[in-house]
């Protein structure tokens, strides 16, 4: 398409030039660049330079941040090497540091968030695009977006004051009683802080992101396709399951991964409700810490330079996880879009 | 279904008989749709009103007329696709084998299951060729001998020979004409009684159009077809019966109305309404 338009444009130029040759009208002059005003040329050049610098600044900044983190984490790296990743203890007193409890905490809290938010967010998006009456769409849609606007520290406070006590007094004891035999629903904490609470707070943060992306995705599914499905005598649900969801599955996966990225990196709200702990436990109601919450909670009070460096090592791990997650989302979108050939 | 054409005698109402001479077919045909004083409104705008005619079994009925005369609106009433348009309001009646399509308790999903539709733009699902045809039967619980059903549908749509070696390929890799025939295969795979075609060839090149038209002649044996087209030659080539819709302008409003309905040959050679004559001879529209 682009080359076609270019060729057409060139053809127009050539036609203009040729038309100009036999006649004596002064239309040949504007084709020469010399006639352009100096100001225009300077403006073009300045625009290109400024925008290029802005783009370059992003690359430089990214590089500088990565470099600094790796640099500061170096002493922990030279002390523990890769063993740091699998070491289970974090003991500032005896200067023994390992990342596994935090990797575990990050994985569990994010997994909880992902498992709960996926059906919730997809459901919300389907409701808003396919089923809700027109008036409801706009209102509920904006409310969902506003959920994302709540500052995470405020959400964390709400977690401490409302969600935690509710979970500790009602939901967690009930789950422990009914499903305790599975092993993951152990004895609840009295305060209501723990991995599960952190997971729920993360869910609240992830849902608006995933829901609004999914909503965009579902709106992009051509009405033709959905009509084609309904014209076969299928119900709305059959249409959604057979056409809408399959056509958008790569986008949904990417949206979930973006949400996951948000959950992995969230620090403040998680620090507020996760309880803080360095033990790896299979009880999701127990306290823990994530990579991000550990850094947020401990950096100010780090007792030794090795602890500080170890915290930055945690930061480097978080950075790598974040980059990988982002990359995976991009690959999924590019590789596995079933609608791609239609575009 | 008595053969009533035999009982018409020349000495009764000669003018009417003369008009009917070109259209003996409908007399002994079963009525599939009995459209009674049908009107469609979108909010305050009336798109179509006063449409009243019968559509017969195993025939191709064409709906022609200028842009905006409500052809598509009309055909989308026949399988209740207009239900999906917010604010669309249908008045009058459509009896399908005597049962009111818009009567209370009628399930639009069941209606669409029996009355299939092919759309203006080919709209294959982003699935494999096989799954495009197999999806409908699978969802509707017709899982028995699915492979045979898919092959039968693809043969019915004159597509089998072209795609039999690449059934697992994406349907979006097909050409526009092939995609449209795939959509026809998809529609007939669930064995509807009626097939509605809403300008099925308007997005296709002449060769693909020809193949769709030939296909329609073959499909007539098993299905009742209703085709909306803006292309008069196409109607003349494929249809047994033709309904001419036009726009009635009044009070600053434009409403689609049925002007004339008759055998195709009659509509194109000897129409009874001046407006039809103007349209088919190219003086209007």
ipTM, two decimals, is: 0.84
- With contact defined as beta carbons under 8 Å apart, do B140 and B113 qualify? yes
pLDDT at site A13 = 43
- With contact defined as beta carbons under 8 Å apart, do A297 and A268 qualify? no
Say if B116 is an interface residue toward chain A (CB within 8 Å). Answer: yes
- With contact defined as beta carbons under 8 Å apart, do A198 and A134 qualify? no
Following DSSP, what letter does each residue of B218-273 receive, concatenated? HHTTTSEEEEE-S-HHHHHHH-SEEEEEEEEEETTEEEEEEEEEEEHHHHHHS-SS
* Cα B122 from chain centroid (whole Å): 16
CB contact under 8 A, A229 and B125: yes
For residue A18, what is the DSSP state? H
Percent of chain B with pLDDT over 90: 64
Which of A225, A227, A233, A250 to mutate to test binding with chain B, by most B CBs within 10 Å of its CB?
Answer: A233
- Output the six-digit token pair for A86: 């699998």
Which of B127, B136, B193, B203 to mutate to test binding with chain A, by most A CBs within 10 Å of its CB?
Answer: B136
pLDDT tens-digit series, residues B76-115: 999 999 888 888 899 999 999 999 999 988 999 999 999 9
CB contact under 8 A, B172 and A341: yes
Following DSSP, what letter does each residue of A234-287 receive, concatenated? --HHHHIIIIIHHHHHHHHHHHHHHHHHHHHH--HHHHHHSB------S-TTS-
- Output the six-digit token pair for A272: 């507020």
Chain B: residue nearest A341 by CA? B172
Going by pLDDT thresholds of 50, 70 and 90, the confidence category of residue B208 is confident
Q: Which residues contact residue A94 at a Cβ distance below 8 angstroms, ignoring those fewer than 6 apart?
A: none
Say if A342 is an interface residue toward chain B (CB within 8 Å). Answer: yes
Say if A343 is an interface residue toward chain B (CB within 8 Å). Answer: no
For residue A288, what is the DSSP state? B
pLDDT at site B268 = 92
pLDDT tens-digit series, residues A87-144: 999 998 888 999 999 999 999 999 999 999 999 999 999 999 988 888 888 899 899 9
CB contact under 8 A, B110 and A233: yes
Please tell me the total number of residues recorded for chain A in this structure: 343
Kindly report the nearest CA distance between residue A228 and chain B, in angstroms: 7
Show the CA angle centred on residue A266, arms to residues A265 and A269, nearest 5°.
165
pLDDT at site A263 = 94
CB contact under 8 A, A242 and B139: yes
Backbone angles phi, psi at B275, to 5 degrees: -60, -40
Interface A-B, measured as beta-carbon pairs within 8 A, has a size of 76
pLDDT at site A191 = 84
CB contact under 8 A, A231 and B81: yes
Closest alpha carbon to B185 in B230, B145, B136: B136
Higher-scoring residue by pLDDT: A37, B213: B213
Q: Which of A225, A233, A235 sits opposite B125 (nearest CB)?
A: A225
Going by pLDDT thresholds of 50, 70 and 90, the confidence category of residue B1 is very low
pLDDT tens-digit series, residues B7-54: 444 443 333 333 433 445 556 788 999 999 999 998 888 899 999 999
Query: Element (H or E) spanning B34, and its range?
Result: strand B31-42
- With contact defined as beta carbons under 8 Å apart, do A329 and A254 qualify? yes
- Whether the pLDDT of residue B216 is over 80: the answer is yes
Kindly report the nearest CA distance between residue B172 and chain A, in angstroms: 6
Residues of chain A with pLDDT under 70: 1-36, 338-343
HSE-up (13 A, CA, CB side) for residue A66: 10
pLDDT tens-digit series, residues B125-138: 999 999 999 999 99
CB contact under 8 A, A342 and B172: yes
Which of A217, A231, A241, A337 to mutate to test binding with chain B, by most B CBs within 10 Å of its CB?
Answer: A231
CB contact under 8 A, B109 and A234: yes
Kindly report the nearest CA distance between residue B22 and chain A, in angstroms: 35
Chain A residues touching residue B183 (CB < 8 angstroms): 228
Q: Which of B79, B86, B135 sits opposite A242 (nearest CB)?
A: B135
Closest alpha carbon to B46 in B253, B259, B258: B253
Say if B139 is an interface residue toward chain A (CB within 8 Å). Answer: yes
Question: Ramachandran region of residue B37, left (φ > 0), alpha (ψ -120 to 50) or beta?
Answer: left
Chain A: residue nearest B176 by CA? A342
CATH for B33-280, options being 3.40.50.150, 3.40.50.720, 3.40.50.300, 2.60.40.10: 3.40.50.300
CB contact under 8 A, B126 and A225: yes
Kindly report the nearest CA distance between residue B153 and chain A, in angstroms: 14
Q: Please name the residues between 222 and 251 in chain A that touch chain B, using a CB distance below 8 Å.
A: 222, 224-225, 227-235, 238, 242-243, 246-247
pLDDT at site A12 = 44
- Output the six-digit token pair for B82: 């207009």
Chain B: residue nearest A132 by CA? B86
Say if B86 is an interface residue toward chain A (CB within 8 Å). Answer: yes
Question: For chain B, what are the domain ranges?
Answer: 33-280
Q: Which of A227, A242, A246 sits opposite B81 (nearest CB)?
A: A227
CB contact under 8 A, A231 and B112: yes
- Kindly give the pairing relationship between strand B31-42 and strand B88-96: antiparallel
- Output the six-digit token pair for A160: 């401490």
Burial class (CB in 10 A: 0-12, 13-18, 19+), A196: buried
- Whether the pLDDT of residue B253 is over 90: the answer is no
pLDDT at site A133 = 86
Say if B85 is an interface residue toward chain A (CB within 8 Å). Answer: no
Chain A: residue nearest B107 by CA? A233
């Amino acid at each position: 398409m682009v080359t076609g338009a270019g060729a057409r444009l060139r053809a127009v130029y050539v036609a203009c030039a040729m038309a100009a040759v036999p006649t004596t009208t002064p239309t040949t002059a504007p084709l020469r660049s010399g006639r352009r005003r100096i100001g225009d040329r300077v403006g073009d050049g300045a625009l290109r330079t400024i925008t290029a610098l802005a783009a370059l600044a992003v690359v430089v900044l990214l590089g500088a941040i990565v470099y600094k983190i790796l640099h500061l984490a170096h002493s922990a790296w030279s002390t523990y090497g890769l063993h740091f990743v699998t070491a289970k203890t974090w003991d500032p007193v005896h200067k023994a540091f390992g990342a596994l409890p935090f990797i575990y905490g990050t994985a569990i809290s994010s997994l909880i968030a992902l498992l709960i938010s996926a059906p919730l967010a997809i459901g919300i998006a389907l409701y808003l695009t396919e089923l809700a009456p027109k008036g409801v769409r706009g209102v509920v849609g904006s409310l969902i977006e506003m959920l994302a606007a709540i500052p995470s520290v405020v959400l964390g406070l709400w977690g401490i004051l409302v969600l935690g006590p509710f979970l500790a007094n009602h939901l967690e004891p009930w789950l422990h009683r009914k499903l305790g035999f599975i092993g993951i629903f152990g004895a609840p904490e009295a305060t209501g802080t723990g991995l599960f609470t952190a997971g729920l707070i993360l869910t609240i943060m992830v849902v608006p992101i995933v829901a609004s992306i999914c909503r965009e995705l579902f709106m992009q599914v051509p009405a033709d396709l959905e009509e084609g499905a309904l014209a076969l005598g299928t119900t709305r649900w059959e249409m959604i399951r057979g056409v809408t969801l399959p056509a958008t599955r790569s986008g949904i996966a990417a949206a979930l991964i973006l949400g996951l990225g948000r959950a992995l990196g969230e620090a403040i709200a998680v620090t507020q409700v996760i309880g803080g702990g360095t033990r790896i436990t299979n009880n999701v109601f127990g306290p823990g810490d994530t990579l991000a919450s550990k850094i947020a909670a401990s950096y100010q009070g780090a007792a030794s330079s090795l602890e500080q460096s170890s915290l930055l090592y945690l930061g480097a791990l978080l950075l790598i996880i974040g980059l990988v997650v982002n990359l995976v989302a991009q690959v999924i979108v590019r590789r596995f879009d079933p609608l791609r050939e239609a575009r | 279904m008595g053969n009533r054409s035999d009982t018409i005698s020349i000495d009764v109402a000669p003018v009417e008989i003369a008009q009917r001479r070109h259209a003996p077919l409908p007399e002994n045909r079963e009525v599939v749709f009995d459209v009674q004083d049908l009107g469609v409104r979108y909010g305050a705008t009336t798109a179509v009103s006063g449409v009243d005619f019968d559509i017969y079994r195993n025939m191709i009925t064409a709906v022609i007329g200028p842009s905006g005369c409500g052809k598509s609106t009309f055909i989308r009433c026949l399988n209740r696709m207009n239900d999906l348009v917010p604010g669309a309001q249908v008045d009058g009646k459509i009896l399908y084998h005597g049962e009111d399509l818009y009567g209370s308790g009628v399930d639009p999903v069941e209606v669409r299951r029996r009355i299939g539709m092919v759309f203006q733009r080919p709209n294959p699902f982003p699935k494999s060729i096989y799954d495009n045809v197999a999806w409908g039967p699978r969802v509707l619980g017709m899982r028995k001998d699915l492979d045979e059903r898919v092959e039968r549908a693809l043969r019915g749509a004159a597509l089998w020979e072209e795609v039999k070696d690449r059934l697992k390929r994406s349907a979006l890799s097909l050409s526009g004409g092939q995609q449209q025939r795939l959509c026809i295969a998809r529609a007939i795979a669930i064995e509807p009684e009626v097939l509605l075609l809403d300008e099925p060839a308007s997005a296709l090149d002449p060769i693909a159009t020809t193949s769709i038209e030939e296909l329609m002649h073959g499909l007539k044996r098993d299905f009742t077809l209703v085709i909306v087209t803006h292309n008069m030659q196409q109607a003349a080539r494929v249809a047994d019966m033709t309904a001419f819709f036009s726009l009635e302008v009044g009070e600053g409003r434009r409403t689609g109305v049925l002007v004339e309905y008759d055998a195709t040959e009659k509509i194109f050679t000897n129409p009874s309404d001046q407006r039809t004559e103007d349209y088919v001879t190219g003086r209007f529209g």
